[in-house]
Amino acid sequence: MASHSKSRWADDEEDAALEAQRKREKELKRKVKAEKQRKLEEQESLRRQNPVDATEDATHDHEAINGAAERPFKRRKLSPEPDTPLKELPPAKLLRFPAPEWGPCRHVDNFEKLNHIEEGSYGWVSRAKETATGGIVALKKLKMDNSNDGFPVTGLREIQTLMASRHTNIVALREVVMGDKLDDVFLVMDFLEHDLKTLQEDMLDAFSPSEIKTLLLQLTSAVDYLHSNWILHRDLKTSNLLMNNRGQLKVADFGMARYYGDPPPKLTQLVVTLWYRAPELLLGAEKYGAEIDLWSVGCIFGELLTKDPLLQGKNEVDQLSKIFELCGIPTEATWPGFKRLPNARSLRLPSISQTTGNVLRAKFPLLTTAGSALLTSLLSPNPAQRPTASEVLAHPYFREDPKPKSTAMFPTFPSKAGQEKRRRLASPSAPKRGDAPRIAGEAADFSGIFANRDTEEVGGGFALKLI
């Protein structure tokens, strides 16, 4: 709006005159329009007062079919005999609801175990093949804690929340199968080649900025989906983020997940792996919500940038001090009421203002302004200042260059979980001192050329087979 802000190039009087002129023109146009509308309405009412003759009726019908606005006419038709006009309506297209079925769990014998993958916080995971279809899946055995409360509530919640979550960036639970004992319960899930933690450990460089954006977008859209369905994940970390060779990220391990509500029910504070745990949990807040997942997202963001976990505390106190070192010490102004949190009373905090600054910007000098603004907001100690997942998705960081990389363009890696290894080519070493080898006698014998094929390292994907 150039005319509103005062420009020193413009002549004020002329501007004002121009503006007035424009206003007048606009007013005139509006009046003409209103007049037109009024005339139309008058015609309409006139037509309605006239007795409806046959030809007009036909045109009305025609118009009604075409969906033209003939409201008053239709309304009158509805009065005493409601059946006649209703019959003319086309049959309504009704939404059919999906109706999955239930039956007893299948037996785990339907799957053939291939190899062990990892031991998570709530069970053992192995790669398996479904014997009937040959499909590769991940089998997760639920850990039964020996508590007196029967089937562990964490396992029930994991199944409950995973079943309710159908999203491209959340690992799909296909079914639950059982073993011979009553305690043997396995979750059958999609198998993904990598988890982000192991992948990063094997990579030489961190992900590129465009790749980080794609990963972060996928993670956040999963978190957004969960939160809009009132599910807290409560254990977001890189080892729980799975990735396939098509660059798709999927959130896994719902062992800590649960439904929450507003107002939040009483929840346990012993959640989230220490390095990804939000300060309000460390300070013993009685009530917490979706913000704790976004703190973890912030930690993962930082980890993707440097390839190393951002805040590696040795224990709860150390974790808190590392957080305050990086994000600044909260004050009554930046986080009202934080001093009243159960564990905050025992903290002795320096009150010097110099040490309370935020050093995130300095730690990630290569991050753009938008990027570091996003990281800083995700890692705000005050949960109220963290953005929601949907706000993160709309953040300008994802719209500036470099743009998020298409998942199809992601590099592929050998899968540890799938027992693939990098092909290691033994390069010859420099010749040793001594006599120069004579070729004549031995070199004629090439029989050893294909020997030791078995000891060679084999890649997972494509290999030439010798028969």
Partner 1 sequence: MAPEPEQLSSLSNPLATVDQLSTSSSQLDGVPADLEGSLRFAGAKLTQAAGILLRLPQEIIAQAIVIFYRFYLGSEGGSFRINAVKDVSAASLYMTAKISFLPQSTRSVLNVYAYLLSPTSPLRQPSEGITGKEKPDAESYYLSEGSYHSARATLLQTESILLRSISFITQVTLPHHLALTYLQTLGVLPPSPTTKSSALAARTLAHLNTALFSPQLLYLTHQPPHLAVSAIYLAAREVGVKLPSMEWWEVFDVDRETLGFLVVGLGSCEGWIEGENEKWTEISCPLTLDELEEEIRRRDVENG
Classify strands 241-243 and 136-142 as parallel, antiparallel or unpaired.
Answer: unpaired
Under the binding rule (CB under 8 A), the answer on residue 157 touching partner 1 is yes
CB of 182 to partner 1, least distance (A): 4
Options 42-50, 95-103, 369-377, 430-438: segment touching partner 1 (CB under 8 A): 95-103
CB of 100 to partner 1, least distance (A): 4
The residues in 23-62 that bind partner 1, with binding defined as CB under 8 A, are none
Residue 99 within binding range of partner 1, rule CB under 8 A: yes
Binding flag, residue 270, partner 1 (CB under 8 A): no
Order of strands across the sheet with 106-107? 106-107, 173-178, 185-190, 136-142, 123-130, 111-120
Single out the residue of 325, 327, 321, 257 nearest to residue 292, CA to CA.
Answer: 257
Nearer to partner 1 among residue 265 and residue 342 (C-beta) = 265
Active-site residue, from 224, 235, 253, 293: 235
Smallest distance from partner 1 to CB 251, Å: 16
Minimal distance, residue 165 CB to partner 1, in Å? 9
Q: Is 113 helix (H, G, I), strand (E, B) or coil?
A: strand
Count CB-CB contacts under 10 A for residue 289. Answer: 18
Residues 102 to 121 in contact with partner 1, rule: CB under 8 A = 102-105
Give residues 182-241 in contact with partner 1 (rule: CB under 8 A). 182-183, 185, 229
Q: 180 catalytic, yes or no?
A: no
User: Interface with partner 1 includes 159 (CB under 8 A)?
Assistant: yes
Q: Is residue 151 a contact residue for partner 1 (CB under 8 A)?
A: yes
Which positions ≥6 away from 229 have C-beta within 8 Å? 164, 165
Residue from 175, 201, 286, 442 binding partner 1 (CB under 8 A): 175
Smaller CB separation from partner 1, 21 or 390: 390
- At 4, the amino acid letter reads H
Among 95, 366, 439, 444, binds partner 1 (CB under 8 A): 95
Query: How many angstroms separate the Cα of 422 from the Cα of each of 195, 266, 460, 463?
Result: 17, 48, 9, 13
3-state class (DSSP) for residue 130: strand
Who contacts 307 (Cβ-Cβ below 8 Å, separation ≥6)?
200, 203, 205, 206
Q: How many residues bind partner 1 (CB under 8 A)?
A: 38
In a 10 Å sphere around its CB, with 0-12 CB exposed, 13-18 middle and 19+ buried, how is residue 379 labelled? buried
**CB nearer to partner 1: pick between 55 and 268:** 268
Asked whether position 446 contacts partner 1 by CB under 8 A, the answer is: no
- 127: which strand partners? 115, 138
Beta strand 106-107 with 173-178 is: parallel
> Which residues, 6 or more positions from 426, have their beta carbon under 8 angstroms from its beta carbon?
none
> Catalytic residue numbers?
235
Give the binding site for partner 1 (CB under 8 A): 78, 82, 86, 92, 94-105, 148-151, 153, 156-157, 159-160, 163-164, 166, 175-176, 178, 182-183, 185, 229, 259, 261, 265
